[in-house]
Amino acid sequence: MTSILVTGSNGQLGSEIRELTTLYPEFKFIFTDIEELDITSLDEIIQFVEKHKVNYLINCAAYTNVDGAEENVDIAEQLNAKAVKNIAEISAHYQIIPIQISTDYVFSGKGFKPYNEDDETSPGSVYGKTKLKGENYLREICPKHITIRTSWLYSPFGQNFLKTMIKLGKEREELHVVSDQVGTPTYAHDLAKSILKIIRRLENDKNFKEFGVYHYSNDGVCSWFDFATEIQIIFGNNCKTKSTDSESFKTLAKRPHYSVLNKSKIKHIFGLDIPHWRGRISHCINRIKS
Ligand SMILES: NC(=O)c1ccc[n+]([C@@H]2O[C@H](COP(=O)([O-])OP(=O)(O)OC[C@H]3O[C@@H](n4cnc5c(N)ncnc54)[C@H](OP(=O)(O)O)[C@@H]3O)[C@@H](O)[C@H]2O)c1
């Protein structure tokens, strides 16, 4: 039976994959987080993959605190870069196909049209730089891999913008949200489904050759202000959202002004039908409410 190891599986994306396992009875899933498998330890991963026969490794573990990474450079480097090097080396040796999750932060954010997979990368933050290093290790050491760059992830699990907006919207009458940073939200449930469809395709097509980098977010474009406004309306908070700009909302890490990802490649190669961001918020909110 095809075996899929999911690392960092208590986070947003890992939790969404866990919810989908019954739809994929042909796969055996092994869910781990740092307590069971610390991906910064090469020895631990070797022992783990020698004990459990692993065919695919979905790496959901990362240092995802974008502002925290500016101050904790070593930790971000360990988890986002060196641990991915471990995964790349072990995957190449044991013939495992790794599915790595990366980010829109690898781009400068100065563009004006959706980023393609082979557009020039130029990260402006420690988080983006360390995630790009991880991508590069995989490319160099284990060419037979899939890297999926995504953006603005949200889900009913963990910490994310949607949950913060719901909480603040209950407490406050007015919220100021930046409208000069434009991108696309990604419902982690949709990304999780797509990852499993990709693995199913790789399983059914042993001659598959299109390994490498792909972009995935929901479809469409919005600002954080648009996203926050839609969240308040759909949740039913009586909170007014007002637009502000990045100058009045300073953060430790530099945020990209434009980070829309072009999804043509993943749609074409894997035949994915990607839903528009606006239509997915209610699905997530209904799960949070229930
Ligand atoms: N969140 C976003 O907006 C966003 C946007 C673009 C791309 N991404 C990428 O998408 C992926 C999934 O993100 P996410 O939001 O689901 O992440 P998340 O919720 O922060 O989950 C990451 C998980 O990894 C665990 N972890 C930390 N150190 C570990 C270690 N040494 N070994 C094993 N597990 C460890 C964390 O545990 P603790 O909680 O105990 O630390 C957590 O359970 C990441 O690669 C991220 O870079 C995220």
Closest atom of ligand 1 relative to the 83 alpha carbon: 31
* Predicted confidence band of residue 287 (pLDDT cuts 50, 70, 90): very high
Q: Assess whether the C-beta atom of 186 lies below 6 angstroms from ligand 1.
A: no
Which of 63, 105, 115, 127 is labelled catalytic? Answer: 127
pLDDT, mean of residues 106-118: 96
Per-residue DSSP letter, 24: -
pLDDT, mean of residues 220-224: 98
> Which CATH number does the domain 2-160+185-219+260-277 belong to among 3.40.630.10, 3.30.420.10, 3.40.50.720, 2.60.40.1080?
3.40.50.720
- For 35, residues 6+ apart whose C-beta sits below 8 A from its C-beta are none
Return the pLDDT at 250. Answer: 85
pLDDT, mean of residues 185-203: 98
pLDDT at 142 over 90: yes
Return the pLDDT at 249. Answer: 83
Q: Assess whether the C-beta atom of 10 lies below 6 angstroms from ligand 1.
A: yes
pLDDT at 103 over 90: yes
pLDDT, mean of residues 234-248: 95
Q: Read off the tokens for 3.
A: 């075996």
Give Cα separations from 83 to 103, 138, 234, 254, 272 (angstroms): 16, 11, 39, 24, 29
Q: 115-129: b or e for each residue (b if 16 or more CB lie within 10 Å)?
A: bebebebebbbbbbb
Closest atom of ligand 1 relative to the 149 alpha carbon: 7
The residue whose CA has the least distance to atom 36 of ligand 1 is 8
Q: Give the model confidence (pLDDT) of 268-280 as tens digits.
A: 999 999 999 999 9
Q: Give the model confidence (pLDDT) of 162-172 as tens digits.
A: 999 999 999 99
pLDDT, mean of residues 233-254: 93
| Percent of the chain predicted with pLDDT > 90 | 98
Q: Assess whether the C-beta atom of 12 lies below 6 angstroms from ligand 1.
A: yes
Catalytic residue status for 127: yes
Ligand 1 centroid – CA 239 distance (Å): 30
Return the pLDDT at 157. Answer: 98
> Look-up: residue for tokens 């839609």?
230
Average pLDDT over the chain, rounded to an integer = 97
Q: What angle do CA 225, 155, 78 make, to 5 degrees?
A: 95
Ligand 1 centroid – CA 42 distance (Å): 18
Return the pLDDT at 173. Answer: 95
Q: Give the model confidence (pLDDT) of 29-61 as tens digits.
A: 999 999 999 999 999 999 999 999 999 999 999
pLDDT at 233 over 90: yes
Q: Assess whether the C-beta atom of 40 lies below 6 angstroms from ligand 1.
A: yes
pLDDT at 178 over 90: yes
Give the Cα separation of 107 and 109 in Å (integer). Answer: 5
Ligand 1 centroid – CA 142 distance (Å): 22
Pairing of strands 222-223, 182-183: antiparallel
pLDDT at 184 over 90: yes
Q: Assess whether the C-beta atom of 60 lies below 6 angstroms from ligand 1.
A: yes
Q: Give the model confidence (pLDDT) of 250-262 as tens digits.
A: 899 989 999 999 9
Q: Assess whether the C-beta atom of 124 lies below 6 angstroms from ligand 1.
A: no
Contact 144, 207 (CB under 8 A): no
Return the pLDDT at 248. Answer: 87
